[in-house]
């Protein structure tokens, strides 16, 4: 399955005020693995960037002056997303802006949903974590995804971060394949085709016993648990 994790930056918040896309960032997943392929493009919106929006992403009017128009990059963009499934955080926002850009052009579909199916990771997060903050920064903290380089919003960086969050939030790898030897150990369906047995005469594993200080610290921790809850199951089992 091919998926495209997508993010945009815009001149403002409302397409009703004819705000436009100024940056598109996409990263490709195939069978829930990052392929290293990406699409990244800045776009001249032919209008001013709102001050509030510029404070979010840091993209200035001067920077965008020599960038191509959406109509000049639309074919390349649509070819990249193809018939993939789009993974977008707060999808109605980005999809709304993509559709707004498409609506200005003849001979193109008026909705990206006609070409691609769409997953809204914000809706997924709200379903998994109701009543909690579910913006991208909050999800990075919840799932221990490094977003330390995200001082400002950027479409490609945010798409890369969202890809990590999405994979963890929806279950990580589909299957356990440590060596990625798909042609050796797996059939075309991705299921294990055989069990690799260890040699019976292999060397035994080295057993490292806990030191006296480690045992003492462990016992103190168990005592703390018992004092706090009135019971420590581990102590009950070992007594």
Q: Tokens 């709200």 appear where? A: 126
pLDDT digits 0-9 by tens, 109-142:
999 999 999 999 999 999 999 999 999 999 999 9
Residue at 85 is within a domain: yes
Q: Is residue 154 classed as helix, strand or coil in its secondary structure?
A: coil
Q: Report CA-CA distances (Å) from 54 to 37, 86, 88.
A: 28, 26, 21
- Tell me if 186 is assigned to some domain: no
CATH no. for residue 70? Answer: 3.30.420.10
Query: pLDDT category, 45, cuts 50, 70, 90?
Result: very high
Whether pLDDT at 182 is above 60? no
Same domain, residue pair 43 and 144: yes
Looking at the fold, whether 147 and 212 belong to one and the same domain comes out as no
Per-residue model confidence (pLDDT) at position 151: 62
Domain residue limits at 13: 2-169
Is the residue at 200 inside a domain?
no
pLDDT number for residue 197: 61
What confidence tier does 152 reach under pLDDT thresholds 50, 70, 90? low
Mean pLDDT computed over 22-40:
95
User: Domain tally for the chain?
Assistant: 2
153 belongs to the catalytic site: yes
Q: What pLDDT is recorded for position 176?
A: 41
Q: State the Cα–Cα distance between residues 37 and 121, nearest whole angstrom.
A: 21
Distances (CA, A) of 104 to 56, 101, 107, 109: 26, 6, 10, 10
- Tell me the percentage of the chain whose pLDDT exceeds 90: 64
pLDDT at 194: 46
Record the tokens describing residue 150, joined without a space: 């995200």
- Written as one string, the DSSP assignment of 5-43 is EEEEEESSS-GGGT--EEEEEEEEEETTEEEEEEEEEE-
Neighbours of 201 (CB within 10 A): 5
- At residue 174, does pLDDT exceed 60? no
At residue 196, the pLDDT reads: 59
CB 64 within 8 A of CB 53: no
Which among 120, 146, 169 is the end of a domain? 169
- 186 DSSP 8-state letter: B
- Both 54 and 109 in a single domain? yes
- pLDDT top residue among 101 and 184: 101
Q: Does position 186 have pLDDT exceeding 60, yes or no?
A: no
Whether the predicted model's global pTM rises above the 0.85 cut: no
Highest mean pLDDT of the ranges 74-83, 150-159, 173-182, 215-224: 74-83
pLDDT higher than 80, residue 82: yes
Q: How far apart are CA 61 and CA 49, in angstroms?
A: 6
Q: Are residues 132 and 233 in the same domain?
A: no
On whether both 129 and 52 belong to a single domain, the answer is: yes
**Is 209's pLDDT higher than 50?**
yes
The whole-number average pLDDT for the span 157-177 is 79
Residue 190 lies in a domain: no
Considering the candidates 19, 57, 100, 153, report the single residue annotated as catalytic.
153
What number of residues does the chain have?
A: 239
**Cα distance between residue 108 and residue 158, in whole Å:** 27
Mean pLDDT taken over the chain: 86
Give the start-end residues of each E strand in the chain: 2-10, 21-30, 33-42, 85-88, 117-120
Q: Which residue has the tokens 């802006």?
A: 97
Residue 145, in any domain of the structure? yes
Collect all residues with Cβ–Cβ distance below 8 Å to 82 and sequence separation of at least 6: 2, 115, 116
Judged against a pLDDT cut of 90, whether residue 153 lies above it is answered with: no
């Amino acid at each position: 399955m091919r998926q495209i994790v997508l993010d945009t930056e815009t001149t403002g918040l409302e397409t009703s005020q004819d705000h436009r896309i100024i940056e598109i960032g996409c990263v490709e997943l195939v069978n829930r693995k990052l392929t290293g392929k990406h699409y990244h493009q800045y776009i001249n919106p032919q209008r001013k960037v709102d001050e509030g929006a510029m404070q979010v992403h840091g993209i200035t009017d001067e920077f965008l002056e020599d960038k191509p128009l959406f109509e000049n990059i639309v074919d390349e963009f649509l070819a990249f997303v193809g018939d993939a499934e789009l993974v977008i955080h707060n999808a109605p926002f980005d999809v709304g802006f993509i559709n707004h850009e498409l609506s200005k052009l003849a001979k193109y579909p008026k909705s990206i949903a006609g070409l691609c199916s769409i997953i809204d990771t914000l809706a997924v997060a709200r379903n998994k974590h109701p009543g909690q903050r579910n913006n991208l920064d909050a999800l990075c903290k919840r799932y221990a995804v490094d977003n330390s380089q995200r001082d400002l919003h950027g479409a490609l960086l945010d798409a890369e971060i969202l890809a990590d969050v999405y994979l963890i939030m929806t279950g990580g790898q589909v299957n356990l394949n440590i060596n990625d030897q798909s042609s050796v150990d797996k059939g075309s369906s991705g299921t294990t085709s055989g069990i690799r047995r260890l040699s019976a005469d292999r060397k035994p594993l080295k057993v490292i016993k806990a030191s006296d200080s480690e045992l003492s610290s462990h016992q103190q921790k168990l005592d703390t648990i018992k004092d706090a809850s009135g019971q420590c199951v581990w102590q009950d089992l070992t007594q």
